[in-house]
Amino acid sequence: MTHTSLASWLSYIESQHPSEIELGLDRGAKVLDRLNLSRPKHKVITVAGTNGKGSTCAMLTQYLCAQGYSVGTYTSPHFLVFNERVALNNTPCDDDILCRAFEVIEAARGDIPLTYFEFSTLAALWIFEESCLDYWVLEVGLGGRLDSVNMVDTDVAVVTSISLDHVDWLGDNLDVIAREKTGIARKDKLLISGVVNPPITIAETALEIGAYLKQKGEDFSFISDSDICTWSWSGHGQSFSNLPMPSLPLQNAATVIAVLVYMGLDPKQDDLVSLFHTAELTGRFQKVSSAPDVFIDVAHNPEAAIELAYRIEDLSKSPIAVCGMLKDKDISRVVEHLASSFSDWYCCDLSGPRGAKAEEIIDNVLRNSPNLSQCVSVFDSVQAAFSAALVKAKKEQRSIIVFGSFITVSDYLALSQ
C-alpha cells in the first residue's frame, strides 16, 4: 500500500492492530528477520527505566556526536511531530525518509499485524541501517523485556531508575518491574544500572542472563557540592571533579559517564564539561520563555515529581502550576510531593479516554495543602489554564511551570506554533 504523506502513513499504521499496546517480541522479530538488517559499526545502546530514559539518551547522543561519531537515536513519545522520534545525528528525520521506511516495513510484514510502536521501531531500525551509523541509541517505550526495542540484541543495556508506573502492564511491585526492565540485558554484554537503592532482582536477572553488571553505589558513584554548583564522579579507576551541574537530572548524568567509561570510550574532562554545559532535552525543566519565566516539565509520576520539587527550590519565588494529568497515573502521590511547591494551582482537563479531570488534581492539592483553598482553579484546557496563569504571573512576577504529562506539555508547545 502506498501513501502520499507522513500523516497518511501514521493514520494507516494506527489502524493495523486492534490494541494500542500489546507487549511481545514475536511479531516484530519475524519482520526484523525478513529485513535482515546489519548492525551499527560500533554498538547498540538500549536504555530502559521508569524515569530518565530520555535525558540519558539525549546526553549519550550529544556526547557521541560531539566526538565525531554518527548516531541514530530512537525515542518516544513525541511532542509536536512524529519525526522527533527518529533522529540522525541529533536531527529529526524528514518526512520522505520516514515514508520510505514505512513502505519497506509494510512490504516486509505481509500479513503480520504490528502495533503502532512496533511499526515505528522497525522503521527506525531500517533508517539507521541505511544510514551506516557508528552507534544506535534506543529508548525502550514500555518496560523492557517485552518491548519491541528489545528485538535488537544490545551491546550496552542501561537501566536508569525503577519506580512504580504502568503497573497494569509491568507489575505492582519494584522487584517485578526491575526484572522486566533489566530484561534488555544480554549475555556477556554490559549492563549499567543507575538505579538508586536497586531492587535485588536487578542483580539476580543480570546473573541469570550472564550480563556484566555495573551499579551506581557499588561500581561507580557521584557527589554533588551545591555550594559551588559542581559535582564529581568516580569509578573503574577514573575520576572527574569540578563538573558543572547539568540542566538535566544529575543522577542521569552520572549514569551517562558510567556508560562512556565502561564502554571504553575514555571520556575527557573538557568534553564532559562541555556536555553538561550544553546538554538539553525538550520538556525536562526546560525554560521556554521569559518575562515571565515559563518552564515545561513532563513530570508525571512520583519520582519525577520529587526531581521537579528539587528544581523548584532554586527559584526565588514559588511558581504557578499549570497541571494536567492522565487518570492512570499516581495523581495523589505526584501532588503529595509538589502541593506546597507552588503558590497557585491552575489545573486543566486533558481530553481523551485517559485524561483526568482538573477537579481530581485539585482535590489532591487541597488534601495535602488545605491553605491553598483560595489559590486553586479549574479549566477545561491547557490553553485556558495557561492564559489565566500568565495574567497572574505577570502581575506578581512569578514563574509558571507547565507539567503533569507529555500531553500537557505538547498542548502548551502547540500554542506557540
pLDDT in tens, the chain (417 residues): 568 899 999 999 988 765 555 666 889 999 999 999 999 999 999 999 989 999 999 999 999 999 999 999 999 999 999 999 999 999 999 999 999 999 999 999 999 999 999 999 999 999 999 999 999 999 998 778 889 999 999 999 999 998 766 445 454 688 988 999 999 999 999 999 999 999 999 999 999 999 999 999 999 999 998 777 899 999 999 999 999 999 999 999 999 999 999 999 999 999 999 999 999 999 999 999 999 999 999 999 998 999 999 999 999 999 999 999 999 889 999 999 999 999 999 999 998 888 999 999 999 999 999 999 899 999 999 999 999 999 999 999 999 999 999 999 999 999 976
The pLDDT of residue 169? 46
Q: How far apart are CA 323 and CA 405, in angstroms?
A: 8
The pLDDT of residue 1? 57
Q: What value, to the nearest 5°, has the Cα angle with vertex 56 and ends 231 and 412?
A: 105
Q: What is the pTM of this model?
A: 0.92
Kindly report, residue by residue over 7-57, the tens digit of the pLDDT.
999 999 988 765 555 666 889 999 999 999 999 999 999 999 989 999 999
CATH 3.90.190.20 fits 286-415, yes or no: yes
**What is the DSSP-derived secondary structure letter of residue 93?**
P
Q: What b/e readout covers 281-303, taking b as 16+ CB neighbours within 10 angstroms?
A: bbbbbbebeeebbbbbbbbbbbb
Helix (H) or strand (E) holding 35: helix 26-35
Q: How far apart are CA 396 and CA 141, in angstroms?
A: 40
Where, residue-wise, is CATH 3.40.1190.10 in the chain? 6-278
Q: How far apart are CA 295 and CA 231, in angstroms?
A: 24
Residues 6+ apart with CB under 8 A from 54: 75, 139, 281, 283, 284
Residues 6+ apart with CB under 8 A from 33: none
Which grid coordinates belong to 356?
483526568
The pLDDT of residue 14? 87
| 31 CB neighbour count, 10 Å cutoff | 21
Task: Say if residue 77 is preceded by a cis peptide, omega within 30 of 0.
Answer: yes
Sheet holding 376-379, edge to edge: 286-289, 294-297, 400-403, 320-323, 344-348, 376-379
The pLDDT of residue 143? 77
Q: How far apart are CA 138 and CA 254, in angstroms?
A: 19
Q: How far apart are CA 59 and CA 279, in angstroms?
A: 6
C-alpha closest to that of 220 among 203, 233, 210, 207: 233
Q: How far apart are CA 248 and CA 287, in angstroms?
A: 12
The pLDDT of residue 26? 86
Where, residue-wise, is CATH 3.90.190.20 in the chain? 286-415
The pLDDT of residue 228? 74
Sheet holding 91-92, edge to edge: 91-92, 86-88, 71-74, 135-139, 43-48, 156-159, 190-193, 212-215
C-alpha closest to that of 338 among 325, 350, 351: 325
- Contact assessment for residue 45 and residue 140, using Cβ atoms and an 8 Å cutoff: no
- Assign 3-state DSSP to the chain and report helix, strand, coil percentages, each to 5: 45, 20, 40
- Contact assessment for residue 351 and residue 375, using Cβ atoms and an 8 Å cutoff: no
Burial class (CB in 10 A: 0-12, 13-18, 19+), 202: buried
The residue assigned the cell 521556554 is: 288
Q: What is the CATH T-level fold of the domain 6-278, as seen in this structure?
A: UDP-N-acetylmuramoyl-L-alanine:D-glutamate ligase (3.40.1190)
C-alpha closest to that of 186 among 147, 159, 156: 156
The distance from CA 332 to its chain's CA centroid, rounded to whole angstroms, is 22
Q: Any bridge partners for residue 243, and if so which?
A: 231
